[in-house]
Amino acid sequence: MAPLDGPNGAVEVTDAHSDGRGLRRLSAPADDELPPEPLDNPRRLLVWPEPDVSTQQALTDRGYRPVIVNSREEVDAQIAAYPAALFVDPLTGPITRTALQSLRMAAVAAEVPVLVTAGLGQASREAAYGADPAVLLKALAPRDSEQHPPRVLLVEEQQAIAQALAVSLERRGMQSAHAASDTEAVEVAARIRPNLVVMDLNQVRRRRAGIIDWLRVNGLLNRTPFVVYTAAEMDPGQLPLLASGETVLFLAERSTNPEVQARIVDLLTKIGAH
């Protein structure tokens, strides 16, 4: 077992066998109300795992009905209800690389947008247990063909963080392109047509769709997973250590403060818009 996300993190890269598909089973509510409900009912949002209390409340307050999915088959069973998105938010339990890839493939095949959240931390290589965010990202990144590596668009204002992520991605056989802002991301996306978008949550502007709108207009949103991370715990004064290699990035639990929760739900609303 090799933890992906370092101390107190949320994601493990293992081949778990608790249910035969690499997912730790959770008790999903009975849900046999297909076909879709009337439009004035809460819209279904596929989630993994079961949300913590504050996230559940934030989603409910914004008109979503979270439906827990533990497998590709459970994703397939919900498609007729036109879910808004698949929201993978590993706060309350670990997810394996295999399981994450399986859920992503099911959602993309069904043309359901995918949003994954994480926290981002900085530590010495020893303290991070060798954690590498690119392992998770590679499981999320579809590719055009076996002969073409995934193209990842990084939207990050801090050059040191973007460079550390890029080095990690390219070491794992992926291509990366960097944009310093949501506005610049649209220009870069038009050039590379990314397979995966990775973005600092602070770059998501509430009154502008930006890269999400571009992906939707170009028919790419439903097959381009979106990862947002919070890096609030990182000390800007320590960022030069990333460039020197004295520290590395690792994945951790994201922040759950009200501002972060609101931004994530705003983002889900943009992604899941009809």
pLDDT digits (tens, 9 = 90+) for 181-209: 988 999 999 999 999 999 999 887 666 66
Tell me the domain boundaries of the chain: 2-27+36-271
Residue 16 scores a pLDDT above 60? no
Long-range contacts of 32-37 (CB under 8 A, 24+ apart): 33/81, 34/77, 34/78, 34/80, 34/81, 35/80, 35/81, 36/80, 36/81, 36/82, 37/81
Residue-level pLDDT at 57:
92
116/219 Cα distance (integer angstroms): 20
Q: What is the mean pLDDT of residues 230-242?
A: 82
Does domain 2-27+36-271 fall under CATH 3.20.20.220? My reply is: no
211 or 31, which is more confident?
Answer: 211
134/130 Cα distance (integer angstroms): 12
> What six digits make up the tokens of 223?
């097959």
**Residue carrying structure tokens 């010495």:** 124
Residue 27 scores a pLDDT above 60? no
Q: What is the mean pLDDT of residues 213-235?
A: 89
223 or 207, which is more confident?
Answer: 223
Residue 14 scores a pLDDT above 50? no
CA distance to 9, 34, 113, 209, 259, per residue, from 221 (Å): 28, 25, 6, 12, 25
3-state secondary structure (DSSP) of residue 113: coil
pTM of the model: 0.83
Residue-level pLDDT at 209:
61
Dihedral angle over CA of 162, 191, 214, 44, nearest 10:
-60
Q: What is the mean pLDDT of residues 6-28?
A: 43
233 or 155, which is more confident?
Answer: 155
Is the peptide bond prior to 35 cis by the omega test (within 30 degrees of 0)?
Answer: yes
| Digit-coded pLDDT (tens) for 75-122 | 999 999 999 999 999 877 777 888 899 999 999 999 999 999 998 888
